[in-house]
C-alpha cells in the first residue's frame, strides 16, 4: 500500500473557505496601503545567499533555508572538507541561493538594483510568502505570508506616524482589539551606554526582546551568560520594568538618559511620534514599551510591535526604522522605515474570535439545478445575465439526481438555488429557492437578480 502523503512540518494546506478568509485579510491590508499611497512590487522567492547572510544576526542566519546547487555540487570540495562534517562550511559551498527570510532585505536589494527607475521617497508594499527554518509551534510556521509596507528615501518621522495609523486602521477594520507597542533602538543604545555596556547592545536587545517569552530571571541569566556584569544587569532592572503613562515614562527616561546623547535622541523621536498620534484619535491603545527590542540587527530608530488583546498569540505585526540597510548593498545614506503584518497569525486570531464577515467567506451565491440538456441550455442564458450582474453563480454540470445537487448546494453553503423545469421554461421564469428559509418563488431573471443581490 502506498504511503500516505504528507507536507513539511510548519507548512499548511488551505481549503477554499480558508482561502476566502485569507484573501479577505490580504485585500483589507492592500486597500489600506492604497489609501496611504503605497504601490505594490514583488521579488523572487529565492535570493542569493550573499544578499541574505549577515542581515539578521547570528540567530537569523541559522534560520535561513538554503537551496542546494544543481549539478555536481561536490566539485571543488576536497575529501578532507567532506569528512570534516562542518555543516556551515559545506553549506556555503553547496548552496549559493536561499529562500527569503523576510521581505525587507530583498526590498533593500531591489531599491539598490532599481535606483535609477525609482522616485524617492519610495512607498512600496509587498504581500508574499517568506520561509524560516524555525521549530514549528502554535502561531509559528516555517512558511508564512508577510504583508509589508516601507518608505525609503525620507528621514521624516511623519512616516512612522502614518505607519501606526495604517496599523490602527487595518485592525479596526478587522475588529481586532490590539495594543501597539513602540520603542526606539536609540533609547536601548542609550541604556547600554549608561550601564557601561555599549559594546554589548546586540546581546542586550536580543535578551530583552525575550522578556515576554522567558521571563525576567531567564533574561538576566542570558545577559550574565553574554558577559554583562552584575552591576550593569542591576542598573538595567528598573529601566526594563518602567511603568506609568507614556508621558511619565518619557519624563523618567529624559532624566535617566540625560548623559547619553543618542538615548535622548531616541526619547525625542518617540515623544514626537506619540504626541502626534495622540491628536489623530487612534482607536487602539499605543504604549511605549522599553522591553520591546525586536531582535533584528538592522533597526536603528523607532521599532513597533502589535499584540492582540483577546487572544494568546505572539506579535501579529512588527517593524521599525533601518537607516543603513541599503548601505550593505553599496548605496549609503538611504533611510527607510517599514511595518509587516503577519497574515498567518492574523488568520488564526480572526478564526479564534470568529470575526470574519459573512460575505468574506461566502463562495457561490446561486446554483442552477441541472435537469437535462434543454433545461441546462435555458439556464445558461439566465446564468450569463446573473454573472453580468456580478452575482457568483454556477450550474451543476451533470443531470444528476435532485438530492445529490441539493446536497452539493448545502455542502457549499450556497444560499439560493434556481430550479428550471418544463413549466418554468414555458413561462420564461425560474423557481428560486431560499436555502435558509425554504421559501420558493416563481420569478423572472430580473427579479431573481434583485432578490439574490438583496
Fold classification of 363-453 is: Rossmann fold (3.40.50)
User: Helix-strand-coil percent breakdown of the chain, rounded to 5?
Assistant: 45, 20, 35
Q: Above 70 in pLDDT, residue 205?
A: yes
Q: Read off the pLDDT of residues 313-361 as tens digits, 9 standing for 90 and up.
A: 889 999 999 887 788 888 888 889 999 999 988 998 999 999 998 878 7
Give residue 81's pLDDT band: very low, low, confident or very high (50, 70, 90): low
User: What is the number of other CB atoms lying within 10 angstroms of the CB of residue 208?
Assistant: 23
Can 16-353 and 363-453 be said to share one CATH topology?
no
Report d(CA 87, CA 64) in Å as an integer: 13
CATH 3.30.930.10 at 16-353, yes or no: yes
Give the tens place of pLDDT for each residue, 384-432: 999 999 999 999 999 999 999 999 999 999 999 999 999 999 999 999 9
Binding-site members are 102-104, 132, 146, 150, 294, 298-299
Q: What is the mean pLDDT of the chain?
A: 90
- Which residues sit opposite 353 in a β-bridge? none
State the Cα angle at 182 between 332 and 186, rounded to 5°: 45
287-292: average pLDDT? 90
Binding-site residues for L-histidine: 102-104, 132, 146, 150, 294, 298-299
pLDDT band with cut points at 50, 70 and 90 for residue 248: very high
Eight-class DSSP state of 334: -
Domain ranges of the chain: 16-353, 363-453
Q: Which of 177, 183, 225 is nearest to 204 (CA)?
A: 225
Amino acid at each position: 500500500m502506498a504511503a500516505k502523503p504528507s507536507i513539511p512540518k510548519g507548512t499548511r494546506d488551505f481549503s477554499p473557505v480558508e482561502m476566502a478568509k485569507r484573501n479577505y485579510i490580504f485585500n483589507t491590508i492592500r486597500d489600506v496601503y492604497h489609501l496611504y499611497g503605497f504601490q505594490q512590487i514583488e521579488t523572487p522567492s529565492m535570493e542569493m545567499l550573499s544578499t541574505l547572510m549577515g542581515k539578521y544576526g547570528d540567530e537569523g542566519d541559522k534560520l535561513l533555508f538554503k537551496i542546494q546547487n544543481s549539478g555536481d555540487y561536490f566539485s571543488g570540495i576536497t575529501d578532507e572538507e567532506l569528512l570534516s562534517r562542518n555543516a556551515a562550511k559545506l553549506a556555503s559551498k553547496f548552496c549559493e541561493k536561499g529562500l527569503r527570510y523576510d521581505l525587507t532585505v530583498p526590498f533593500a536589494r531591489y531599491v539598490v538594483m532599481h535606483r535609477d527607475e525609482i522616485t524617492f521617497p519610495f512607498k512600496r508594499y509587498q504581500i508574499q510568502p517568506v520561509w524560516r527554518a524555525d521549530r514549528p509551534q502554535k502561531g509559528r510556521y516555517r512558511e508564512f505570508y508577510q504583508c509589508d509596507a516601507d518608505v525609503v528615501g525620507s528621514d521624516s518621522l511623519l512616516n512612522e506616524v502614518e505607519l501606526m495609523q495604517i496599523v490602527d486602521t487595518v485592525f479596526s477594520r478587522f475588529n481586532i482589539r490590539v495594543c501597539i507597542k513602540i520603542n526606539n533602538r536609540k533609547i536601548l543604545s542609550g541604556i547600554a551606554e549608561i550601564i557601561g555596556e555599549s559594546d554589548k547592545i546586540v546581546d542586550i536587545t536580543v535578551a530583552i526582546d525575550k522578556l515576554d517569552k522567558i521571563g525576567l530571571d531567564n533574561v538576566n541569566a542570558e545577559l550574565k551568560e553574554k558577559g554583562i556584569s552584575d552591576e550593569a544587569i542591576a542598573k538595567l532592572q528598573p529601566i526594563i520594568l518602567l511603568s506609568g503613562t507614556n508621558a511619565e515614562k518619557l519624563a523618567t527616561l529624559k532624566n535617566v538618559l540625560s548623559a547619553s546623547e543618542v538615548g535622548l535622541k531616541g526619547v525625542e523621536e518617540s515623544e514626537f511620534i506619540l504626541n502626534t498620534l495622540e491628536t489623530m484619535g487612534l482607536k487602539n491603545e499605543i504604549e511605549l514599551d522599553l522591553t520591546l527590542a525586536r531582535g533584528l540587527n538592522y533597526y536603528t530608530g523607532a521599532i513597533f510591535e502589535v499584540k492582540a488583546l483577546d487572544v494568546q498569540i505572539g506579535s501579529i505585526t512588527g517593524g521599525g526604522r533601518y537607516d543603513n540597510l541599503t548601505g550593505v548593498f553599496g548605496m549609503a545614506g538611504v533611510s527607510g522605515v517599514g511595518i509587516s503584518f503577519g497574515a498567518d497569525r492574523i488568520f488564526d486570531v480572526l478564526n479564534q474570535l470568529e470575526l470574519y464577515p459573512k460575505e468574506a467567506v461566502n463562495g457561490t451565491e446561486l446554483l442552477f439545478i441541472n435537469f437535462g440538456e434543454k433545461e441546462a441550455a435555458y439556464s445558461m442564458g439566465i446564468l450569463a445575465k446573473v454573472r453580468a450582474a456580478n452575482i457568483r453563480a454556477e450550474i451543476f454540470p451533470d443531470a444528476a439526481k435532485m438530492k445529490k445537487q441539493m446536497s452539493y448546494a448545502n455542502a457549499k453553503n450556497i444560499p439560493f438555488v434556481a430550479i428550471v423545469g418544463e413549466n418554468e421554461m414555458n413561462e420564461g421564469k425560474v423557481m428560486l429557492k431560499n436555502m435558509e428559509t425554504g421559501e420558493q418563488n416563481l420569478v423572472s431573471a430580473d427579479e431573481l437578480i434583485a432578490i439574490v443581490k438583496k
